[in-house]
Amino acid sequence: MSVVLVAIFAVPLLVCAALFVGAAVASRRGEIPTRGWGRLAGWISSAGALTSLVLAVTALLSYRAGVDVSVSAVWFHVGDLEVPFSLRLDGLQAVMAVVVAAVAFLVHLYSVGYMHGDRDVSVYFAELSLFTAAMLLLVLSSNFFLLYVAWELVGASSYLLISFYFERPAAAAAGKKAFLTTRVGDLGLLIALFAIVWQTGSLDYDAVFAWAATPGFQGAWAVAIPLLVFAGAVGKSAQFPLHVWLPDAMEGPTPVSALIHAATMVAAGVYLVARAYPLFEAAPVSLDVVAYIGAFTALMSATVAVTQSDIKKVLAYSTISQLGFMMAALGAGAPEAGVFHLFTHAWFKALLFLGAGSVIHATGRQTVQELGGLVRTMPVTAWTFAVGGLALAGIPPFAGFWSKEEVLGSLLAHQPVLAAALLVASFLTAVYIGRLFFLVFLGGPRLAGDVRARGHESPWVMALPLLVLATASLVSGFFGAGFLGQRLQHFLSIGAAGAEPPGTPAWFTALAIAVGVAGLGAAWLGYGRSSQRAGEALGFDIQLRSTLGRAYGVVERAYLVNEFYGRMVVGPLVAAGRFLWLGVDGRVIDRAVDGLARVVPGLGGLVRRVQSGEVRDYLAAVAFGVIFLVALALGGLR
Amino acid sequence: MTGLLLLLPKATIGIAALLALLLDSLSGGRARRRVVLAVVVLLSAGAVVAMVGIGRTGVFLEGALVVDRFSIFADIVLLVLGAVVALAALNGVGSDKDAGDFYTLFFLSLAGASVLASAGSLIMVFLAIELALIPTFALVAFRAEDRRSFEAALKYFLLSVFASAIMLFGFSLVYGAVGTVALPLPGDAASSGLLLAGIGLTLAGFGFKIAAFPFHQWLPDAFEVSHPEVAAFLAVGPKLAAIVALVRILEGLAAQNGAWTSAVAGIAVLSMVWGNLGAFRQRRLPRLLAYSAIAHAGYALVGLAGGGARGMDGAVVYFAAYSAAVVGAFLVVGILARGGIGDSLGDIVGLGRRRPLVAAALTVFMISMVGVPLFAGFWGKFSVFLGAVEGGVAWLAVVGVLNSAMSFGYYGNVIRLMYLEGGTDATPPRSAAGAPAGGVSAHGQTVVAGAEGWGIRVALGVAVAFTMLLGIVPGILFGALGVSAGL
């Protein structure tokens, strides 16, 4: 049985290698990749993802049956440290693997239609398969080291996919920004990893968690390690203050946004916190940090989402906000609720993104000002999008209701203030998704005479994933509600407790539903009715803008966080580079060290024979360095 | 018998240098190439013999020459490096009338590096450094047709003399303080001002050899104007040997640990920041690689600044893990030069279409240098940062990881440019040698495939293979250093 876990990620990896070799051979022969070849590549990689899905379900079932499927082998030694290549499966990992493989398969299938006619699609599918393999390895790993390796591979393939349209400068820049920003978080994870090795000499999950439960886990590192791990999660899951990369990442192809930037990779941060939960439990202050960062992110980006006019940007901020919900639940001591929300969110957010992709594919437009009335021409897209929207808004019986209710309930028990904040965020969630649906699908076309903007229904390879995901957006909540056998939360068995969360009071559930309905109602009042008349739909936005004045602009530009980073981080770095360039050029150093060069005796005459003045400056810098080093060394004299 | 086995790898380099002297007496490129190929086989065999010696130790010449896990590790890397560079130069600088001079100087320098890695006393360290460096002055000046080549060599020479004098002064102070030149130095010496000043001056001298800030200025000029094969060697060979010698010297000075670790930490930070910021502004690939090399010297010093055994191992592993990528990158520069493509960043736009395999290789090297897992470069960073955290200087590891994140800005830019469409749609300028070989691609661009000769292509393949193999099976890297044996 043990070969199953390896095969789950190895199959997409082999597909990726085959496609890359094929592309290299083709381009070496100077052949232009044909559409037929691209389509074949799409089917091959879809088949690979389907194989992974079947294997993941098999593995889940055998785990439930009590079969041990773990794999372990020594990868290499560094001195006394043994780094194993080990995979395992527990409830959390099994659920994650199935979600990742299932969404990956649907997105592969959808991409066959979506990328139809694009150039170099075989490379696209190779990169998509690489991502799938890396993501599956990430969730199946049973030690922190392998997790970190997969974590970086996921980041690298995300970079490749975001900048897939690299001839667009914005896409290339967005890819780079995503990679750099998440790596700032990865830094924390890597340092945590080193600290764990240093303290325990092991990287295995079980050994590390056992160590966290002992009294030896104390002091500065005991707080620092979970916070450093969380820093990695903040980067990957786009939490404040490292959330800035995710909206830009929407430059990538839309199916990529659905797979990576909605359902799987961004959820890896949530998975990481849930996985390393014993470390967090041992240092309660770190849990508070997680809860507050999550709730703050959830509320902040929900407000931004209300003001965006690009469909994908609305969904991007929505994703950041929903990830904040999950983090808040984890921080409030209810990891099962957070992961349950991750589970339902994966389906309905992938659905919403793929629906948006269907609209973009059919119309070539993605701002709400240019779209409208698509329910008539694209009924499948419209109704499945509606299902996704209702799930997101938390309307029963759709999936989002069950998980969001659990998240809010757990917060009410532990952090009532944050529960209130998230209720506001829930209201805003219903507003922005309602606004999006009403503006895009109801009313009439906004631009007269724009024939393409009227749209057409997408081919079956795109419609089928929408229908499957819509079904999942309805039923996936039932797994957690206990309608379908064992409750998901019990199956997960995260952390030490595994205790039943306190039941949510009925009044609170009613309040949560009311908030969602009220949000949708507000959206209808603002955008639904007026959109019956073309051209006036955005009247409410204009009204809001004039009422709120500059504040609206600040929210629309995401609280100017990007501008802040641009001025405080990127600007100084660029300036430092420019200064350095001048310095290296010899112009700055020239003046700064001119005097010193003359002090160094005997060199002047020698150097003058070399026509360039640079050597003198170089020698002066060396002299500086010598003094610096000797001074530092003598500092040890005390 | 064991002693002979341990010295055999070094002997092969000496034999290679002697064989190279014969090249000038041979007429005809074919005969010369046969000799060079024989030398390549000889060096590869030497590397295998060195691997057989893993786990053994030996002391020769009354302690002046030491063969241990560090020197064996360095010998393996140096021999492979020598074979790769010799192969790469086959159709380039190695095929013209000066081939004999070139190869002789190169192998002499390689021999110096090998001895440096085995030096068992301060005097031997100094002699070996000079043996390793003096031939490289001539190698940098080897492009006789380019005046700048001579100028860069002269600057390199002057700075090197200066640095050697400082280092020698440092050695004499150390000798005055501890009363011996034999390595390892006695660990119980009192921390007198004499000793600490000597350590500081020694560090400055080594700073020059590994091109750490602020002793790095010779590097960009030298890399830019010399033959890419020479730059590839300079980027790895002398540096790896120098870091081994530095580790050997500092290992003994445990009592002065606090003093030299803070000095090393200082230049590590400055080298990383300066090199990475400088690389952003470069418009030519060799200069970009030169500034990045300054940063990489900084990363290696991060491990050394940890002060512990793991960090010292890490510093040595670092250069080895980095070597495959930087050598490969310079081989790509060589291929571009021979193909008449040019090595400025503007010239590589669209390389992904014109030379897909070369572009793919350069992509692998860039990713490895960023330090992404499953590429060789990652394990170098892993070792040094782990060493820093264990040595109690976690902040230095933080600075290092931030720097490597920043470096993605310019490495990624190289990748982006290569796969950018169109750009310079014009036919690449033809090389002076005449009409380029190869055909016309489907996009109407002249493909100058094959102009570089097969030697450098095989060498490039070896570099790619090592970058990926060491990345996926890092046990080879750590095992060759003998760390798995718990030594």
- pLDDT (tens digit per residue) in A372-420: 778 888 888 889 999 999 999 988 888 888 888 888 888 888 888 888 9
Mean pLDDT value across residues A328-343: 89
In chain A, what residues touch B384 (CB-CB under 8 Å)? none
Asked if the Cβ–Cβ distance from A32 to B281 is below 8 Å, we say no
In chain A, what residues touch B197 (CB-CB under 8 Å)? 630, 633-634
A81: nearest CA partner in chain B:
B484
Which pLDDT score is estimated for A29?
64
Asked if the Cβ–Cβ distance from A24 to B356 is below 8 Å, we say yes
Of the pLDDT bands very low, low, confident and very high (cuts 50, 70, 90), residue B293 is: very high
Mean pLDDT value across residues B25-45: 85
In chain B, what residues touch A153 (CB-CB under 8 Å)? 372-374
Which pLDDT score is estimated for B437?
37
Other Cβ atoms closer than 10 A to B55: 11
Mean pLDDT value across residues A57-68: 86
Asked if the Cβ–Cβ distance from B166 to A626 is below 8 Å, we say yes
The shortest C-alpha distance from A193 to chain B (Å) reads 9
Whether the predicted pLDDT of B423 surpasses 50: no
Mean pLDDT value across residues B171-192: 85
Whether the predicted pLDDT of A173 surpasses 50: yes
In chain B, what residues touch A624 (CB-CB under 8 Å)? 214
Asked if the Cβ–Cβ distance from A576 to B277 is below 8 Å, we say yes
- Retrieve residue A255's tokens: 């199916």
The shortest C-alpha distance from B233 to chain A (Å) reads 23
The shortest C-alpha distance from A143 to chain B (Å) reads 15
Higher pLDDT, B426 or A271: A271
Comparing A35-39, B9-13, B42-46, B364-368, the range with the smallest average pLDDT is A35-39
Whether the predicted pLDDT of A521 surpasses 80: yes
Higher pLDDT, A104 or A122: A104
B349: nearest CA partner in chain A:
A167
Asked if the Cβ–Cβ distance from A584 to B220 is below 8 Å, we say yes
* Kind plus residue range of the DSSP H or E element containing B206: helix B193-209
Mean pLDDT value across residues A502-512: 81
C-alpha to C-alpha distance for A492 and A340, rounded to whole angstroms = 9
With residues binned 3-state (H G I as helix, E B as strand, rest as coil), the percentages for chain A, rounded to 5, are 75, 5, 20
Asked if the Cβ–Cβ distance from A636 to B262 is below 8 Å, we say yes
Mean pLDDT value across residues B274-294: 88
Higher pLDDT, A208 or A529: A208
Of the pLDDT bands very low, low, confident and very high (cuts 50, 70, 90), residue A607 is: very low
Find which of B351, B382, B404 to mutate to test the A interface (most A CBs within 10 Å of its CB): B382
Whether the predicted pLDDT of B485 surpasses 70: no
B192: nearest CA partner in chain A:
A637
Comparing A74-88, A232-246, B66-80, B403-417, the range with the smallest average pLDDT is A74-88
Please report, rounded to a whole number, the percentage of residues in chain B having pLDDT higher than 70.
Answer: 91
Contact partners, residue B281, CB within 8 Å, separation at least 6: A577, A578, A580, A581, A584
Q: Which amino acid, residue A137?
A: L
Mean pLDDT value across residues A174-198: 85
Asked if the Cβ–Cβ distance from A180 to B162 is below 8 Å, we say no
Under DSSP, is residue B186 helix (H, G, I), strand (E, B) or coil? coil
Higher pLDDT, A355 or A30: A355
Determine the longest span between alpha carbons in chain A, in angstroms.
91
Given its phi and psi angles, is residue B96 left (phi above 0), alpha (psi -120 to 50 degrees) or beta? beta
Which pLDDT score is estimated for B467?
92
Which pLDDT score is estimated for A412?
86
Asked if the Cβ–Cβ distance from B266 to A580 is below 8 Å, we say no
pLDDT, tens only, B198-211: 888 999 999 998 98
Asked if the Cβ–Cβ distance from A621 to B214 is below 8 Å, we say yes
Of the pLDDT bands very low, low, confident and very high (cuts 50, 70, 90), residue B421 is: low
Of the pLDDT bands very low, low, confident and very high (cuts 50, 70, 90), residue A33 is: low
Other Cβ atoms closer than 10 A to A222: 17
C-alpha to C-alpha distance for B106 and B92, rounded to whole angstroms = 14
Find which of A630, A634, A637, A638 to mutate to test the B interface (most B CBs within 10 Å of its CB): A630
C-alpha to C-alpha distance for A160 and A140, rounded to whole angstroms = 23
Mean pLDDT value across residues A94-105: 91
Which pLDDT score is estimated for A600?
42
Give the gyration radius of chain A's Cα atoms. 27
B203: nearest CA partner in chain A:
A629
Higher pLDDT, B440 or A36: A36
Strands B58-60 and A81-87: unpaired
Which pLDDT score is estimated for B30?
79
Which pLDDT score is estimated for B131?
93
Of the pLDDT bands very low, low, confident and very high (cuts 50, 70, 90), residue B444 is: very low
B475: nearest CA partner in chain A:
A76
Whether the predicted pLDDT of A431 surpasses 60: yes
Asked if the Cβ–Cβ distance from B484 to A77 is below 8 Å, we say yes
Asked if the Cβ–Cβ distance from A629 to B373 is below 8 Å, we say no
The shortest C-alpha distance from B22 to chain A (Å) reads 35
Mean pLDDT value across residues B75-88: 93
Asked if the Cβ–Cβ distance from A635 to B262 is below 8 Å, we say yes
Q: Which of B260, B402, B474 sits opposite A76 (nearest CB)?
A: B474
A612: nearest CA partner in chain B:
B151
Other Cβ atoms closer than 10 A to A223: 16
Of the pLDDT bands very low, low, confident and very high (cuts 50, 70, 90), residue A299 is: very high
Residues A85 and A146 sit within 8 Å (Cβ to Cβ): yes
Whether the predicted pLDDT of A350 surpasses 60: yes
Whether the predicted pLDDT of B42 surpasses 90: yes
The highest-confidence range among A33-37, A348-352, A495-499, B415-419, by mean pLDDT, is: A348-352
Q: Which of A167, A580, A614 sits opposite B274 (nearest CB)?
A: A580
Asked if the Cβ–Cβ distance from B353 to A163 is below 8 Å, we say no
Whether the predicted pLDDT of A595 surpasses 50: no
Contact partners, residue A233, CB within 8 Å, separation at least 6: A185, A239, A268, A269, A270, A272, A273, A327
Q: Which of A184, A576, A632 sits opposite B262 (nearest CB)?
A: A632
Asked if the Cβ–Cβ distance from B281 to A580 is below 8 Å, we say yes
- Retrieve residue B471's tokens: 């990345």
Asked if the Cβ–Cβ distance from A637 to B196 is below 8 Å, we say yes
Residues B414 and B368 sit within 8 Å (Cβ to Cβ): no
Asked if the Cβ–Cβ distance from A191 to B416 is below 8 Å, we say no
Whether the predicted pLDDT of B84 surpasses 80: yes
Q: Which of B155, B199, B280 sits opposite A614 (nearest CB)?
A: B155
DSSP string, B225-270: HS-HHHHHHHHHHHHHHHHHHHHHHHHH-GGGHHHHHHHHHHHHHH
Comparing A559-563, B165-169, B240-244, B399-403, the range with the smallest average pLDDT is A559-563
Which pLDDT score is estimated for A429?
93
Q: Which of B155, B163, B200 sits opposite A630 (nearest CB)?
A: B200
Tell me phi and psi for residue A164, to 5 degrees: -60, -40
C-alpha to C-alpha distance for A159 and A153, rounded to whole angstroms = 10
In chain A, what residues touch B468 (CB-CB under 8 Å)? none
| DSSP structural state of residue A34 | P
Asked if the Cβ–Cβ distance from A633 to B203 is below 8 Å, we say yes
Q: Which of B398, B412, B478 sits opposite A176 (nearest CB)?
A: B412
B406: nearest CA partner in chain A:
A180
C-alpha to C-alpha distance for A84 and A145, rounded to whole angstroms = 8
Mean pLDDT value across residues A183-199: 86
Mean pLDDT value across residues B160-172: 91
In chain B, what residues touch A625 (CB-CB under 8 Å)? 204, 207, 213-215, 267
Whether the predicted pLDDT of B326 surpasses 90: yes
Whether the predicted pLDDT of A637 surpasses 70: no
A148: nearest CA partner in chain B:
B373
Mean pLDDT value across residues A346-355: 92
Under DSSP, is residue A192 helix (H, G, I), strand (E, B) or coil? helix
Asked if the Cβ–Cβ distance from A581 to B281 is below 8 Å, we say yes
Please report, rounded to a whole number, the percentage of residues in chain A having pLDDT higher than 90.
Answer: 18
Comparing A193-207, A517-531, B353-367, the range with the smallest average pLDDT is A517-531
Strands A71-78 and B65-67: unpaired
The shortest C-alpha distance from B439 to chain A (Å) reads 10
Which pLDDT score is estimated for A230?
93
Comparing A331-345, B15-29, B111-125, B383-397, the range with the smallest average pLDDT is B15-29
Mean pLDDT value across residues B447-471: 83
In chain B, what residues touch A149 (CB-CB under 8 Å)? 373-374
B205: nearest CA partner in chain A:
A626
Higher pLDDT, B272 or A215: B272
Mean pLDDT value across residues A322-348: 90
Of the pLDDT bands very low, low, confident and very high (cuts 50, 70, 90), residue A449 is: low
Asked if the Cβ–Cβ distance from B197 to A633 is below 8 Å, we say yes
Tally A–B CB contacts below 8 A.
207
Asked if the ipTM is above 0.90, the reply is no
Asked if the Cβ–Cβ distance from A634 to B258 is below 8 Å, we say no
- Retrieve residue A98's tokens: 């199935």
C-alpha to C-alpha distance for A212 and A222, rounded to whole angstroms = 8
Render the burial of A9-31: b for 16+ CB within 10 Å, e for the rest: bbbbbebbebbbebbeebbeeee
The shortest C-alpha distance from B389 to chain A (Å) reads 7
